Amino acid sequence: MLFQWVFVSLSFLAYVAALVTPLSDWAKLIKLGPNAPYHKAPAPRGVKQNLPSDCKVKQVVYLSRHGSRYPGFEGTYVSAMAQTVTTAQPVIASARLPRELRFLKTYTSTLGSEDLVDKGRQEMVHHGKEFRKRYPHFSFEHFVTSGSSRVIESATYFGKGYFGHNWNDPSMISPIPSNPATLSHLTPFQVCPNHSFSVSDSIKGAWQNIFMPAITARINAAVPGLNFADIDTLGGFYACAFDYAAHGESPWCGAFTKQEIDQFEYYADLDVSASWGLMHPQNMARVMGSVYTKKLIQRLSTNEENVAYVELGHDATIAVAMTAMGLATDDPLLPTTHIVPERKMRSSNQVPFGGQMVFEKFTCSRSFEGPQVRLILNEATYPLTPCIQSPRDAKYGTCSLSNFIQSNQFSMSIEFGDAQWAASCGVPA
């Protein structure tokens, strides 16, 4: 009974969170890029969210990012910021601070490293419950995961949501090793030795140099003697995300204005686009994403009915797949000098913790001819723009399976180790 109470519906938890978390803080949290908590994506204007009544889903290919976790590399910035605060305690203790910074008098950081947190487990239980509600007549043989421990644990808690809180069957979880010797559609970046985060470091760094100094100066002016550097301010943004993931709240969220959060969100979008999107050179993200896209098309091309594929990976898994399919891609590429308000890359809504990318194959008796494809991204229909060819397609954000395949000929043409792969990714030794 106690276990049941711990893993109550995330819908109820969201209701409780709304009671105890100021609306302004929640509005900030869901704009923190890939470190945002899971939330339903906004529905695109003009796109129907429900299929016509004569249509029936035949097949489901489900991919989820792992749930909320402790920080990885981000923890370095949080720790450095916390140390700066500790060093400045003699001046902070006697300072008259503005309300939004008074927490600095007692602030400490107590975060782990990279492992799933309780909130992440709750997110995955919720996903499992909702998947069963949405597709009650579908079956799947096992969970396919990457080799990461937090991803495997996420699959376990998805299973508890789907099968019941007492479920525990490790034999149903099939991890694919995440290493340079294994080609996996969930971690193709492991076999792409040319991939480097130096590209994203340079691109997001250029924007950071524009927007961050003013925030740092504002904080230092409010707390004389604090002596924040821009990396400390960056640590504050990360603390907003990861304090919340670990503890359900973070005073750092209230320390930043809406405009500053918008600037950080753009920083996060540049990071994802330059790491796993079109801003990474040599078509690398599309080549990496081709592995998932080919696997998806192979599955959708079968005659299976009431069959689901349930897999769990990372934000990068979703991001490179979408890039390969021509989704969430900006043309021209995003600038590093100013925010583009109407951009397609919105990492907060596309790859938050627990993000879900669900492809449905469906058929209809009247509305559409032949098998059709729909993408539901974090509970909202995401228009398959590259393959939409009719007003009815546009109305529902869908396209025919044949047009979907045709629009992904680049991915279908790629083979691991071929000339295109070698030119973009290189080949593991």
Active site residues: 66, 315
Q: What is the token pair recorded at 4? A: 């049941």
**pLDDT for the residue numbered 22:** 52
Q: What is the token pair recorded at 250? A: 């973070």
pTM of full prediction above 0.85:
yes
**pLDDT for the residue numbered 270:** 99
**pLDDT for the residue numbered 391:** 97
**pLDDT for the residue numbered 1:** 40
Q: How far is CA 62 from the centre of its chain?
A: 14
**pLDDT for the residue numbered 16:** 38
HEC-encoded secondary structure of 178-218: CCCCCCCCCCHHHHCCCCCCHHHHHHHHHHHHHHHHHHHHH
**pLDDT for the residue numbered 131:** 99
Residue 18, pLDDT above cutoff 60: no
Backbone angles phi and psi of 388, in degrees to 5: -70, 130
Mean pLDDT of 155-170: 97
**pLDDT for the residue numbered 24:** 75
Is the preceding omega at residue 170 within 30 degrees of 0, hence cis? no
% of the chain beyond a pLDDT of 90? 93
Backbone angles phi and psi of 186, in degrees to 5: -90, -25
**151: enclosing H helix or E strand:** helix 149-163
Backbone angles phi and psi of 139, in degrees to 5: -125, 155
Residue 233, pLDDT above cutoff 50: yes
**pLDDT for the residue numbered 429:** 73
Residue found by looking up tokens 């109820």 in the block: 12
CATH 3.40.50.1240 domain range(s) in the chain: 51-71+113-195+280-429
Q: What is the token pair recorded at 135? A: 């597709």
Residue 27, pLDDT above cutoff 70: yes
Distance CA 82, CA 87 (A): 9
DSSP string, 105-119: GT------SSSB-HH
**pLDDT for the residue numbered 2:** 40
**pLDDT for the residue numbered 227:** 98
| Integer CA distances (angstroms), 373 to 57, 135, 397, in order | 9, 16, 9
Q: How far is CA 415 from the centre of its chain?
A: 27
Residue 416, pLDDT above cutoff 90: yes
- The topology under which CATH files domain 51-71+113-195+280-429 is Rossmann fold (3.40.50)
Q: Label residue 314 exposed, middle or buried (CB < 10 Å: 0-12, 13-18, 19+).
A: buried
- pLDDT, tens digit (0-9, with 9 covering 90-100), for 38-69: 999 999 999 999 999 999 999 999 999 999 99
